[in-house]
Amino acid sequence: MKLAGKTALITGAGSGIGKAIALLFAGEGADIAVNDIDLPSAEKTAEAVKKIGRRAIAIQGDVAEPADVDAMVDRVISDLGGVHILVNNAGIPVHGLLLDTQTVENWDRVVAVILRGTYLCSRRVGKWMVANRTGKIVNISSRAGLVGSPTMASYGAAKAAVINLTRSLALDWGKYNINVNCIAPGLIDTPLTRRTIAKDFPPEVVREVVPLGRMGTAEEVAGAALFLASDDAGYITGVTLPVDGGRLA
Ligand code: NAP
């Protein structure tokens, strides 16, 4: 088992990619703190983790709110004994043209959840990791953070900032034995994509734009997160790994 004896905090783990990461990490021996803004979904993931035989706690909290993040991390440390792994996964999409539907309010919300959330969770968990001279942080950015994407200006800008935050924290925290890496998923079949862009990507379009000819699965992103959170990636820090079926190629 690759994560035996570790504790992982995964944000936005009530659904999609975060949930798949929670279940895969539990299967590899980690105890899991499941955060989500929606408590019932967090509780469902925590129950599934317990069925795998690991300890799990469900924590409702908005990653964009400093008080929620501080209380969440304090609880993970007191209930599970530490935070060896942090996966900054919570994110929300906003689609629309900048001059049309992208209001100041939804710009601020997208940036707050994606960028400020990653900063707040990394800051609080980083304190524990620095004190304990150990840690793996995996940020879930997006292909949209590496290239421009139509109608996704605020989302893409926030995801690009997460990639740069990853690099800066990797430089600052390398000396404390903390690896900070990032994943840039492409088109992944999750409740989020089914709610938003699935209609723009029928199978014939996906076959045309994705070299591997299909959407990815949440489990395939989780596999990359496991690699970056494990000792297999011990000498890797500051990188962004695309998991996009070859679209960036
Ligand atoms: P998802 O199924 O919607 O899961 C995201 C989870 O995060 C949801 O349970 C959501 O709760 C929760 N959440 C939203 N805002 C939050 C907040 N402020 N604090 C805590 N939790 C919050 O989406 P997904 O597709 O798995 O996406 C996971 C991550 O991958 C996101 O960062 C997304 O941007 C990124 N990503 C996804 C794709 C893709 O194709 N799916 C591609 C590139 C990147 P609610 O449902 O209640 O909002």
Which residues are known catalytic residues? 155
Query: In angstroms, what is the span from residue 90 Cα to ligand 1's centroid?
Result: 5
pLDDT at 1: 96
Tokens of 217: 């699965």
Nearest ligand 1 atom to the CA of 14 is: 9
Among the ranges given (45-54, 61-70, 183-192, 194-203), the one the predictor scored with the smallest mean pLDDT: 194-203
| pLDDT one-digit tens code per residue, 115-131 | 999 999 999 999 999 99
At residue 105 the predicted structure's pLDDT band, cuts being 50, 70 and 90, is: very high
pTM of the model: 0.98
Non-local CB neighbours of 102 within 8 Å, separated by 6+ positions: 94, 96, 153, 154
pLDDT interval class at 60 (50, 70, 90): very high
The pLDDT score that the predictor gives to residue 161 is 98
Share of the chain above pLDDT 90, in %: 90
CA of 192 to the centre of ligand 1 (A): 7
Which 3 state secondary structure label does DSSP give 60? Answer: strand
Does the structure show a pLDDT above 80 at 141? yes
H-state helical runs in the chain: 16-27, 39-52, 66-80, 104-111, 117-132, 153-173, 191-195, 203-209, 218-229
What does the pLDDT read at residue 102?
Answer: 82
Above 90 in pLDDT, residue 101? no
Closest-CA residue to 235 (of 173, 177, 184) = 177
**Measured in angstroms, how far is the CA atom of residue 26 from the centroid of ligand 1?**
20
- Which DSSP symbol is given to 246? T
What is the per-residue pLDDT across 167-221, written as a single tens digit (0 to 9) for each?
Answer: 999 999 999 999 999 999 999 999 989 988 888 899 999 999 999 999 999 999 9
Which residue from 11, 17, 121, 142 has its CB within 8 A of the most atoms of ligand 1, so it is best to mutate? 17
pLDDT of residue 200: 86
* pLDDT value of position 120: 98
Q: In CATH, what number does 7-190+218-242 get?
A: 3.40.50.720
Atom 23 of ligand 1: nearest residue by CA position: 192
So what's the pLDDT on residue 126? 98
Q: Are 141 and 162 in contact (CB under 8 A)?
A: yes
Mean pLDDT across the chain, nearest whole number?
A: 96
Residue 100 token pair: 């049309």
pLDDT in tens, 214-240: 999 999 999 999 999 999 999 999 999
* Best residue for ligand 1 mutational test, from 21, 24, 59, 92 (most atoms within 8 Å of Cβ): 92
Q: Whose CA is nearest to atom 33 of ligand 1?
A: 91
Q: How far is the CA of 127 from the centre of ligand 1 (A)?
A: 25
- pLDDT for the residue 64: 98
Euclidean distance between CA atoms 157 and 163, whole angstroms: 10
Query: What DSSP state is assigned to residue 135?
Result: E
Q: Where are the domains of the chain?
A: 7-190+218-242
Q: How far apart are CA 25 and CA 226, in angstroms?
A: 7
**Which residues on adjacent β-strands are paired with residue 33?**
9, 57
Structure tokens at 128: 């524990």
Q: Which residues line ligand 1 (CB under 6 A)?
A: 11-12, 14-18, 35-38, 41, 62-64, 89-92, 113, 117, 140, 142, 185, 187-188, 190-193
Inter-residue contact 143 to 249 (CB < 8 Å): no
Nearest Cα residue to 224 out of 214, 215, 212, 216: 216
